[in-house]
């Protein structure tokens, strides 16, 4: 198993937090480029409860009325300890159905690579839904914008910076 140590340095996510004056702590860790579950790997490497480590997923939902039929991308943030409920995400944003977004579309829309997609500092702002379980913790961990880097911040600050809707979207 090959592991890589993540180097320090700013990412769009850390820049967004710094500009907003939001307190956060960056946690770097060695990662395995071949790991299958990026979020669970982060929780294990950092010795954290996987309910506090959040994964950022992009989903495609049916078009908004009057949009000409173009599907919308939505950011869904759930604990790595569980799974995303696609029907719940769709309902949270007023859509009828949702599906996981194509990874290439997710990378283009966010400016991050899969496994390092942060809900913060994305190229374009997308509707965001945070699983309500995150609010039970004083701090949560999200990707810092690259593999091997997680950012710890309060869930209230995460909601404020992403303009997230808080809803039960995990299972």
Question: Would you say residue 29 lies in a domain?
Answer: yes
Return the structure tokens found at 157: 């600050």
Euclidean distance between CA atoms 49 and 34, whole angstroms: 22
Q: Is residue 76 part of a domain?
A: yes
State how many domains the chain has: 1
| Residue 13 lies inside a defined structural domain of this protein | no
Query: For 67-107, how does the pLDDT look when each residue is reduced to its tens digit (9 = 90+)?
Result: 666 788 999 999 999 999 999 999 999 999 999 999 999 99
Residues 64 and 45: beta-carbon distance below 8 Å: no
Per the confidence metrics, is the pTM higher than 0.85? Answer: yes
CATH number at residue 132: 3.90.960.10
39 bridge partner residues = none
Task: Evaluate whether residue 2 is within a structural domain.
Answer: no
**How does pLDDT run across 25-39, given as a tens digit for each residue?**
999 998 877 777 788
- Domain that residue 41 falls in: 25-167
């Amino acid at each position: 198993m090959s592991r890589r140590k993540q180097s320090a340095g700013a990412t769009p996510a850390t820049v967004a937090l710094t500009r907003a004056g939001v307190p956060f702590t960056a946690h770097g860790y060695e990662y395995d480029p071949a790991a299958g579950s990026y979020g669970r790997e982060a929780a294990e490497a950092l010795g954290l409860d996987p309910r506090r480590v959040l994964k950022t997923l992009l989903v495609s939902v049916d078009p908004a009325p009057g949009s000409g039929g173009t599907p919308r991308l939505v950011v869904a943030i759930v604990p790595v300890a569980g799974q995303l409920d696609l029907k719940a995400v769709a309902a949270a944003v007023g859509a009828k159905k949702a599906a996981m977004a194509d990874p290439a579309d997710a990378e283009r829309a966010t400016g991050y690579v899969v496994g390092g997609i942060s809900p913060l500092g994305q190229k374009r702002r997308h509707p965001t839904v945070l699983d309500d379980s995150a609010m039970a913790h004083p701090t949560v961990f999200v990707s810092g914008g690259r593999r091997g880097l997680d950012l710890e911040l309060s869930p209230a600050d995460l909601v404020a910076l992403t303009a997230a809707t808080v809803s039960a979207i995990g299972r």
